[in-house]
Structure 1
Amino acid sequence: MALKMVKGSIDRMFDKNLQDLVRGIRNHKEDEAKYISQCIDEIKQELKQDNIAVKANAVCKLTYLQMLGYDISWAAFNIIEVMSASKFTFKRIGYLAASQCFHEGTDVIMLTTNQIRKDLSSPSQYDTGVALTGLSCFVTPDLARDLANDIMTLMSHTKPYIRKKAVLIMYKVFLKYPESLRPAFPRLKEKLEDPDPGVQSAAVNVICELARRNPKNYLSLAPLFFKLMTSSTNNWVLIKIIKLFGALTPLEPRLGKKLIEPLTNLIHSTSAMSLLYECVNTVIAVLISLSSGMPNHSASIQLCVQKLRILIEDSDQNLKYLGLLAMSKILRTHPKSVQAHKDLVLQCLDDKDESIRLRALDLLYGMVSKKNLVEIVKKLMSHVDKAEGTTYRDELLTKIIDICSQCNYQHVTNFQWYISVLVELTRLEGTRHGHLIAAQMLDVAIRVRAIRKFAVSQMSALLDSTHLVASSTQRSGICEVLYAAAWICGEFSEHLQEPHQTLEAMLRPKVTTLPGHIQAVYVQNVVKLYASILQQKEQAAEPEAAQDVTQLMVDRLPQFVQSADLEVQERASCILQLVKHIQKLQAKDVPVAEEVSALFAGELNPVAPKAQKKVPVPEGLDLDAWINEPPSDSESEDEKPKGIFHEEEQRHAKQQLPEADEEELARRREARKQEQANNPFYIKSSPSPQKRYQDMPGVEHIPVVQIDLSVPLKVPGMPMSDQYVKLEEERRHRQRLEKDRKKKKKKDKEKKGKPRHHGSLHTESDEDITPAQQVDIVTEEMPENALPSDEDDKDPNDPYRALDIDLDKPLADSEKLPVQKHRNVDNSKSADKEDVPVVEKKIKKPKKKEKKHREKEREEKGKEKEKSSKRKKKKHKKEKEERSKDKKKSKKKKPPSDKAAEPVENGALDEEPLPPMSSYCLLAENSYIRMTYDIQGSLQKDSQVTVSVVLENQSCSFLKNMELNVLDSLNTKLARPEGSSVHDGVPVPFQLPPGISNEAQFVFTIQSIVMAQKLKGTLSFIAKNDEGSTHEKLDFKLHFSCTSYLVTTPCYSDAFAKLLESGDLSMSSIKVDGISMSFQNLLAKICFHHHFSVVERVDSCASMYSRSIQGHHVCLLMKKGEKSVSIDGKCSDSTLLSNLLEELKATLAKC
């Protein structure tokens, strides 16, 4: 044995290690694949040896080859052997190889379970650490389930190194095995207060990643994170926590008010740009989430904007980009704060980084107003002219159109200017967005009736110009505008000054070089134009002129009949026959203009989006059924059906083309070079600098070409947008003077004899500027009996969807993590027999209760409804088993009113929009102040409630020294500062300037919550104005209803059924008549005002649940009849239940 070991050690001296392998690959560049193949053969021989060191060396080399892209899955079993080595250096190699090549499809991965468990319980922290690191890369659902308990135990390890790794890998375990989240979460939460900062950072990281996907489940951790944020000095941890608060704030606006101050302090104090950005980002999210009734936070917004300006002005491109990104978020809610920095954003358009220019463009979209639209578009147009690269230029063009057309053209005051801008954009060569310009031209012409005459004149000039027709040969999209120009001139031909000239322009031979879809529009609109001219000529009694126009049509239309495009050919053929028939009638002096014009009577309105999708499917039509049965598998696959479409035939034809020989390729190359040489828009390759310098002629040899100035340098008939800018400025100036004159005249009548001093400067708001033309909102056409479009479901493949788990719900017995136990042979049979019935009972008992519960509800609705519902239940089961086509068929046959009721858990069906509701009630008010309040409890504090009081200053006085006092009762007492007596009031921690409101919170201690009660109180304050200060007070009565002690708590149907059958609850019921409100709104109102959550809803019945701050369970069953509502209630306390039902009765009486 000793000799064998010595021999093995000697052989290892001559084995190739990783360095030799790398050196060999570099030396065999020409035949690398062959060399690596030889190395793999050698490695396979090494893996067959018994020496673990040789195997580890072989696996190390395989790991390197895997990085080069070679498959090493065949060595998976050998990798597991190396993983099981007792020596750490070998074990590390095995885990590294496994982390790179193991995945869920690896067959032998199940063999690693026991080995990993052994390493996790190893006394060496490094063995445990390498096992955790490797496992994180190849964890599967089975491994996660089997090892979750072992990893959770390591979270309490004595070594911080292990605790940190165990906390981090738990995130991967949660993703693969979501059922482990709830049992592991309490221990994960404990790690937030771990003494080691590394472990604490790991816990923050894991919880923040979980909360980023499903933030609502982590609201209860807000106090703990707030404490961490105010005490931690680790910038990385602060960034993570602040990001989490940014996600939580929209769900709980009250949290935002507490965050403003510490975040503002961090913004002032930190020098780290990354932390500064996250603070600003979260402050923005907080201010967006705060409601309009809260105090004005303009100071915080200004601070954020100032700090973002520093980021944007920084030389670091990344900071500049982030600054612009955050500025766009502020722009949505506080546009005026950002508009002041318009000059800075415009400067960013000159930045060399294209991503920064694009981000600045996005900002400009929201900064536009009626006053600055023209200036911003002018600046963008100048950038279009000098833009390098088609991508950025196309983005500029898109942004110009988006800026002008946003919000139904609300910022455009002069549409003549806008159309002239669009016409200027048609001069761009090489753009891909010609269709965008065309769409805008069509939209403006259709919706702004007053501008149609001007639009038609510009479009006729476009049709008459040759540069757009010529551009079609350069594969440019700008010729798309001719589509719009032809349609507008045809549809609104009554506005044309020279219709005959436009007709001739549309019938030119060059038009046939345009794309087929544009030619088709030309042909169709030529007839409209022809009908208009025909009517004019007949009304003017000019039959010869009418015949000349008809002859022109007969002469020019054949060129379209010969088109290769099927659409053009078909339209032209039909129209040519129509015109020839008209020519015969004209020869007989028969008037035809009226009949031809009748072909195009009425307006063409735009069709609504998704109109085709919303067309109801006719009864009896099954869209999923086969029209022709698919061919059987036995048929020959070589026989391919002939393509019935042109494109398909063309594609097959291309596949069968023989390869061209060298002579053919050379001939094509010469032809392409000749074409490029003749193309004035193609940039030719320049010769080398040396040759160019030698061939450069002298100054005297430069040829001078005389420019023919009779040829205009711009397209004739198309005015520049600058002249309309001047016209618009003059119009606004006249409008301003007219308003000033009217205002002065009105004030002179009111106050005669008083001298008035008018300032020379006049500030003009957007509301003062009235547009020259109004935009008509044209109703988009929809098909008859259009169906509402369904909302898109969430992505079923989202890996984070399974982690949307309620973490506040108590842990059930079935949710405990599986623990590996030794099998007891003697008791295994008896244990199995005993366990099975218990499990069945636990699962089935609530279902039985639910079934009884539903049947009881349905019995009260009458026998007929019961029968129909049973029939539908059977049908529903059958539908599930059938194919999807049968399912659709049966659904169509059922009338909408007889749909089978589907139970909805933890929420209500979205039937109709809910009315706005507020939980704040009026407490008291006088001429100085208005008080509204809301009472909220918490399950964590069973003897306290918080009263939030919003104080609003309704006077012109400044209110200060406010103090609130309440006369305590034996049951309810106001929590006062330490050292205060029961007669002292609680000072309000703010002052109220005129017109400002703010919120103060007061804590009350409660002993019993089963009865409602009222407390008398007084708000005293000092009102200060120009005349002096006065001491004022306002009396009020604070009403503590039983509802105010309830906390909205979700409850699932299984737990709800178990609670109802326990027999520990008292029962009572009420019935209210004369209810006309819909069941949907009624349910929402009760849930909102009385703090209930919906457990299950079936038709017009719903079960609800809530819990009091002292742990009382409240269960309700609400049923709605035609004009009445009945509520059956069960509660832990009968007095509390009767009082709650009385409050519900009062609420229902108002509905």
Structure 2
Amino acid sequence: MDSAQLKQIQSFVNKLGVMRLKDLIKAVRNCKTAADERAVIAKESAFIRTQFKEENNDTRHINVSKLLYIFMLGYPAHFGQIECLKLVASNKFSDKRLGYLGIMLLLDENQEVLTLVTNSLKNDLNHSNMFNVGLALCTLGNISSVEMARDLSSEVEKLLGNSNTYIRKKAALCALRIIRKVPDLMENYVEKANKLLNEEKNHAILLTGITLLTEMCLLDKNVLNDTRKNVPRLVRILRNLITNNFSPEHDVNGVADPFLQVQILRLLRLLGHNNVEASDLMNDVLAQVATNTDNSKNVGNSILYETVLTIMNIESEKSLQVMAINILGRFLSNRDNNIKYVALTTLCQVASILTDSSSLQRHSTTIIDCIKDTDISIRKRAIDLAFILMNRQNIKVLARELLVSLETTTNEEKAKISRRLCECANRYKSNKRWEIDTVCRVLKIAGGYVEQDVINNFIRLVTNSSTELQQYTTNKLYNILNKKDDAVEAQEGLQLASIWCIGEYCDLLLQSPLDDSLANIDEDENNATITSDIPSEHDVIDLLERLLEGSHVTNKIRQYILIALVKLTNKLESDCRIRINGLISKYKTNINLELQQRAIEFNALDNLNDEIRSVVLDRMPALENTKENRKQNLGI
């Protein structure tokens, strides 16, 4: 028996005691509990450590493969990093492949062990076997650090000009990683990246070359300007893809190489941005893509989506922009919620670009339907888009739908929607009464979530309105709270606004309507009449007392009610004043210092003569908009 046969027998004996990867997977799957699995993994990890210490070359690849499986299960496997390096140094392709896979999984660019791989990578990049070169390029493209990129950049640059298309494709992807890590090395790749566009018959080379050029254009404006000379070539490639006969090699659900089409569209988007000449060259082919692409499947929808983004980001013709908006409109009618979401998000982005929103307004009905969608993500995007589209012509329709959605939306969203709706109502209002009605409905639905600014702006709006509107507002808010609806009384913002108005305009509340036209129909309350009997002085005090003792009262509401009560002493008869002073006196010993101090001060006002007290408790003047005043003072 010769020595070679003895070695084979010894190798076979060494492997007998080693559990295969298949056996380990089977053992893990047979575990009934997590504790059993941990026990199996711990036992096998200990065995693998022992095997590594014995430096057994025959079983190293088996142990590393098991270790990678253990790592993918989420258990620590760092002790196998050096063994992966040893496999990479092997002459066997199978060992080298497993070693590089282990390096990509167990190492990252921040670990010092990675520097030990540089020499092996350099040797394999210069190897005569293209598959060894491919493994090295793949690893370098995944985990390259800055130092490694600088050391091996020249080898990758050389491989970009290799005659083998497989190597050129891998080298282009590796160059992508290198220029991201070290942008200074970009100038070494620009010329060869442009030459990759000549490989029109090889789609893999085209795809990687265009991806590399796209990244370069994003990083350097000079490269972007130089690459614009390739626009005619890119347009020709794209036109060939959509007009040529069927090619089974590149077909995906009836679409010719959608990956290449998408990448070309992304590069054209960069080249045509703020450049009329380049945009003119691509207008026709974009129209062809938009009209010839089948939108019945996701493959076609992905191309149409990229086409829309390209049209909206270049200096395109107005007819093309209308076509792009119509494509997104068709997306909104799709049953797939993912496509709806993409369309809504894109419409939110392009709405700010459009100079004429009429093409977008045509789809307002579909957008309103999306506001009613059961999917919360769809609703959020549709609401954002509705606020963008809002103007004086559609404010009433959109506001009505947003108020309905406000009732069902999450508590986190109520504050945001309420603020934006009140701001839009102020900006696009047809008249002050409509704005008051809208804000009142917001406070009624989401008054517990609105910010103080919303309440302050509403009070400012009322103080700057006519006496008739002040009476209308106070009467409206009084009637809302007088219904004794627990859900309504839970809205703190509504209570604060109502109490403030009652305190300031109680004298108007106790009068008959000054303007009959304001007392007919409330168009935002489902055409319900708002007329009611004129309340008595005691009815008003009863309401405030009920709120003061209600289950939803807070210290802030108590403060507002005390101020309103002391204001009423200047407007009501003497018997009511005695009752009011009694209510205020209860808070002279309150545990809250602010309430206690105000109660004592307000009781002291009763000792002043009527003339002084009437001046102190007189109605507040019209409040000014502090932001507008600040702008005027700054000369803005």
> So what's the TM-score if we normalise by structure 2?
0.80
Is structure 2 residue 210 aligned with structure 1 residue 204?
yes
Give, in whole Å, the separation in 2 of the partners of 1:397 and 1:550.
Answer: 35
Q: CA deviation at 1:438?
A: 6.6
* Counterpart pick for 1:251 among 269, 274, 292: 274
Tell me what 1:336 maps to.
358
* Counterpart pick for 2:578 among 548, 559, 562: 548
Q: Which runs of 5+ in 1 are unaligned?
A: 291-296, 473-477, 564-568, 609-777, 789-912, 914-1151
Code of the aligned partner of 2:19:
K
* Counterpart pick for 1:311 among 331, 344, 347: 331
Mapping for residues 233-632 of structure 1, pairs under 5 Å: 233=241, 234-271=257-294, 272-286=300-314, 289=315, 297-329=317-349, 331-332=351-352, 333=354, 334-381=356-403, 387=408, 390-391=409-410, 399=417, 402-403=420-421, 405-406=423-424, 409-426=426-443, 428=445, 434-436=448-450, 439-447=453-461, 449-450=464-465, 451-468=469-486, 472=490, 478-490=491-503, 495-497=508-510, 501-508=539-546, 510-511=548-549, 513-514=551-552, 516=554, 519-524=555-560, 526-527=562-563, 529-536=564-571, 544-545=574-575, 547-548=577-578, 551-558=581-588, 561-563=589-591, 569-583=592-606, 585=607, 592-594=612-614, 596-597=616-617
CA contact (8 A) 1:264 1:300 kept: yes
Q: CA deviation at 1:462?
A: 4.4
Change (3 A) 1:331 1:426: same
3-state DSSP of counterpart to 1:38: helix
Q: CA deviation at 1:546?
A: 7.3
Give, in whole Å, the separation in 1 of the partners of 2:154 and 2:301.
Answer: 41
Give, in whole Å, the separation in 1 of the partners of 2:289 and 2:553.
Answer: 61
Q: CA deviation at 1:213?
A: 5.9
**Residues 412-441 of structure 1: per-residue CA shift (max 9 Å, x gap):** 21343343344445554xx6x733387545
Change (3 A) 1:338 1:67: same
Give, in whole Å, the separation in 2 of the partners of 1:401 and 1:337.
Answer: 28
* Counterpart pick for 2:113 among 108, 112, 115: 108
Give, in whole Å, the separation in 1 of the partners of 2:561 and 2:223.
Answer: 61
Is structure 2 residue 132 aligned with structure 1 residue 127?
yes
Give, in whole Å, the separation in 2 of the partners of 1:360 and 1:470.
Answer: 27
3-state DSSP of counterpart to 2:162: coil
Change (3 A) 1:533 1:348: closer
Q: Which runs of 5+ in 2 are unaligned?
A: 242-256, 295-299, 511-535
Change (3 A) 1:20 1:227: same
**Residues 853-880 of structure 1: per-residue CA shift (max 9 Å, x gap):** xxxxxxxxxxxxxxxxxxxxxxxxxxxx
**Residues 633-676 of structure 1: per-residue CA shift (max 9 Å, x gap):** xxxxxxxxxxxxxxxxxxxxxxxxxxxxxxxxxxxxxxxxxxxx
Change (3 A) 1:403 1:125: same
Give, in whole Å, the separation in 1 of the partners of 2:62 and 2:80.
Answer: 13
Is structure 2 residue 67 aligned with structure 1 residue 62?
yes
Change (3 A) 1:204 1:500: farther
3-state DSSP of counterpart to 1:85: coil
Code of the aligned partner of 1:342:
S
Change (3 A) 1:437 1:461: farther
What percentage of residue pairs aligned between the two structures are identical? 19
Is structure 2 residue 106 aligned with structure 1 residue 93?
no
Tell me what 1:169 maps to.
174
Give, in whole Å, the separation in 2 of the partners of 1:369 and 1:601.
Answer: 33
Change (3 A) 1:416 1:214: farther
CA contact (8 A) 1:84 1:91 kept: yes
**Residues 199-258 of structure 1: per-residue CA shift (max 9 Å, x gap):** 221011122234346667513212203422222424422322222332343432443333
CA contact (8 A) 1:487 1:521 kept: no
How many pairs are equivalent? 577
Whichever structure has more strand as a proportion of its residues is 1
Change (3 A) 1:405 1:226: farther
CA contact (8 A) 2:548 2:558 kept: no
Q: CA deviation at 1:81?
A: 0.9
CA contact (8 A) 1:469 1:510 kept: no
Tell me what 2:515 maps to.
none
Give, in whole Å, the separation in 2 of the partners of 1:161 and 1:421.
Answer: 66
Code of the aligned partner of 2:473:
A
Change (3 A) 1:109 1:325: closer
Q: CA deviation at 1:169?
A: 1.4
Is structure 2 residue 199 aligned with structure 1 residue 194?
yes
Larger radius of gyration: 1
3-state DSSP of counterpart to 2:428: coil
3-state DSSP of counterpart to 2:118: helix
Mapping for residues 928-939 of structure 1, pairs under 5 Å: none
> So what's the TM-score if we normalise by structure 1?
0.46
Change (3 A) 1:136 1:602: same
Give, in whole Å, the separation in 2 of the partners of 1:122 and 1:488.
Answer: 86
CA contact (8 A) 1:442 1:488 kept: no
Change (3 A) 1:499 1:211: farther
Give, in whole Å, the separation in 1 of the partners of 2:219 and 2:375.
Answer: 32
Give, in whole Å, the separation in 2 of the partners of 1:238 and 1:117.
Answer: 34
CA contact (8 A) 1:100 1:137 kept: no
Give, in whole Å, the separation in 2 of the partners of 1:383 and 1:580.
Answer: 46
Mapping for residues 217-232 of structure 1, pairs under 5 Å: 217-232=223-238
**Residues 332-377 of structure 1: per-residue CA shift (max 9 Å, x gap):** 4221122223333334445454433443333333443434332333
Code of the aligned partner of 1:356:
I
Give, in whole Å, the separation in 2 of the partners of 1:384 and 1:496.
Answer: 30
Give, in whole Å, the separation in 2 of the partners of 1:351 and 1:546.
Answer: 52
Give, in whole Å, the separation in 1 of the partners of 2:507 and 2:158.
Answer: 85
**Residues 75-113 of structure 1: per-residue CA shift (max 9 Å, x gap):** 222221112111011111111111111023423221111
Give, in whole Å, the separation in 2 of the partners of 1:161 and 1:243.
Answer: 24
Q: CA deviation at 1:66?
A: 0.7
Whichever structure has more helix as a proportion of its residues is 2
Q: CA deviation at 1:555?
A: 3.5
Change (3 A) 1:38 1:85: same
Structure having greater relative contact order (Cα 8 Å, sep ≥ 6): 1
